[in-house]
Amino acid sequence: MSTLILLLVIYASFISLGLPDSMLGTAWPLMHLDINASVNTAGIVSTLVSIGTVISSILYSKYLSRARTEVITLFSIVATALALLFFSFSGSLLGLLPVAIVLGIGAGAVDASLNNYVAIHYKSNVMGFLHAFWGIGTLISPFLFGYLFSIGISWREGYFSLSFVQLSIALIVLSSFPLWKKEEKRFKLEHREIETDDLGMKYTITELFKTKGVIPAVLSFFTYSAVEQTAMLWAPTFLVWANGMNESDAATAGGMIFLGITVGRILTGLLSEKAGSSRLISIGHVLILFGILSLIILPKEYIPIYFIVFGIGLGPIYPMMVHQTPEIFGLSRSSQVLGLEMALSYISVATMPNLFGYLARLTSFSTLPFFLIAFLFLNIVTIQLKKRASYA
């Protein structure tokens, strides 16, 4: 029973990770007017969040060598809660910038710590459901803000309210500390060969990059995030500029990607034990390719369906790649390799959508499907190269 309760706490913590991810884009149309910032400066705030996350991901294994996972998770959620609180009081873009870095640091630590913990302590189906709860978190913020805006409540109250939701989740994590210790004792009894030091920092960055399979491993996260994040950011614009869709319908159709990802990750949780991580990743690649090619060659009236299929394809890839990290690289390397993988993922988040935006201005937004196919192909190649290494 205690294992189930702890798992629910971990799932709640991943909802807390997803909540801020969709807040900025939802609030920005009103937010930028209130703080006297130009509409395109959202990219600056988003990039600083990513920088904070990269820093936190790289340093995660050092945190783990000094503190337990639950302590890292608690302080990380508190950091994101305080960052959202400061967002709600900010009166200028300049005031948002340092807080954005703090938000990213908190998010990166939660992401890395819980992903590594679940990858080591639980089966792959738990990893699938874990990332489904992140998807639920990303869906909550837009609907909440939409409701608040409809009744005349400002974005500030939205950020203020969600900061207290984060603090509530932090209290839940704090109250669950005895469960973490109990679960750790059970895990060590079942895996007596594992030493506590095996889960902390042991290798330098140079040593890690010299380890067979690490370079394609981190590149697999980079290329996946390039596909996911570029599609999320630019899909509505692509539909307007390349397909002549009106802005309202384009926004709704683009939102189908988030819905598809959430459905895909729920299905991953249900199927991963029988299908296996490698097979689910391959199925995901096929569905992504089908969704992209459908945009090019199939009737345009079914675009929302193509995006749902595309999102379902994205669903299993990230959580299954995470779960493969200790399987391929072993427990002694897993926390550090995972930190590097997530750092490269967030570097991709910060750079690749911007790169496509620049290329689209030089060419056309109709090049989006080809950009996605190119990085999908690179993702397939890097995953295959990574699988040739085995240290577990």
The identity of residue 154, as a single letter, is: S
We report the CATH number of the domain holding residue 6 as 1.20.1250.20
Tell me the residue type at 58: I
Domain boundary among 181, 199, 217: 199
Verify that 91 and 194 share a domain, yes or no: yes
Domain boundary among 199, 215, 236: 199
Count of structural domains within the chain: 2
Examine the domain organization and report whether 125 and 96 are in the same domain. Answer: yes
pLDDT of 159: 93
Residue 392 maps to a domain: no
**Which of 255, 231, 252 lies closest to 353, judged by CA?**
231
- How far apart are alpha carbons 365 and 220 in whole angstroms? 25
Instruction: Quote the pLDDT of residue 119.
Output: 87
Residues 146 and 213 grouped into a single domain? no
Cα four-point dihedral sign 147, 309, 22, 31: negative
Q: What is the pTM of this model?
A: 0.82
Residues 105 and 120 reside in one and the same domain: yes
DSSP one-letter string for 281-309? HHHHHHHHHHHHHHHHHS-GGGHHHHHHH
- Tell me if residue 324 falls in helix, strand or coil: helix
Check whether residue 83 and residue 178 sit in a common domain: yes
Q: Note whether residue 263 is domain-resident.
A: yes
In a domain, 391, yes or no: no
CA distances from 124 to 107, 255, 282, 317 (A): 22, 27, 15, 12
pLDDT along the chain (392 residues), means of 10: 88 91 79 84 84 85 80 94 94 92 91 87 88 85 80 90 94 95 78 52 78 94 96 86 82 84 93 93 98 94 94 96 90 85 91 89 93 98 88 56
**Residue 200: DSSP 8-state:** S
Q: Domain end: 174, 199, 224, which one?
A: 199
Structural domain of 273: 205-386
Residues 230 and 365 in one domain: yes
pLDDT recorded at residue 221:
97
On whether both 64 and 28 belong to a single domain, the answer is yes
- For residue 182 the two structure tokens come to 């109990």
Together in a domain, 99 and 242: no
Write down the pLDDT at residue 44.
84
Q: Which position has the token pair 């620049």?
A: 358
- The Cα–Cα gap between 325 and 320 comes to 9
**Among residues 253, 264, 233, 267, which one has the least CA distance to residue 305?**
253
Residue 311 sits in the same domain as residue 329:
yes
Examine the domain organization and report whether 94 and 168 are in the same domain.
Answer: yes
